[in-house]
Amino acid sequence: MLLLLLLLAALIIAGVVLAVVVIKWLFILALVAALCWVILFFTRRVA
């Protein structure tokens, strides 16, 4: 029973760490996409 609880705790910790990593990379990709959009927006406006 104790082994099962430890395994469950390890899976929960791994899930939380994976979620933080995925959200961090999605946030970075969103920032890059927003920056590209702003650059394209102003270059089209100037031209």
pLDDT in tens, 1-47: 999 999 999 999 999 999 999 999 999 999 999 999 999 999 998 77
Task: Report the 10 Å Cβ neighbour count for 35.
Answer: 10
Model pTM score: 0.63
Query: Would you state the pLDDT for residue 13?
Result: 97
Rounded to whole angstroms, how far apart are CA atoms 25 and 23? 5
Q: How many CA atoms lie within 13 A of 32 on its CB side?
A: 6
Max CA distance (Å), the chain:
69
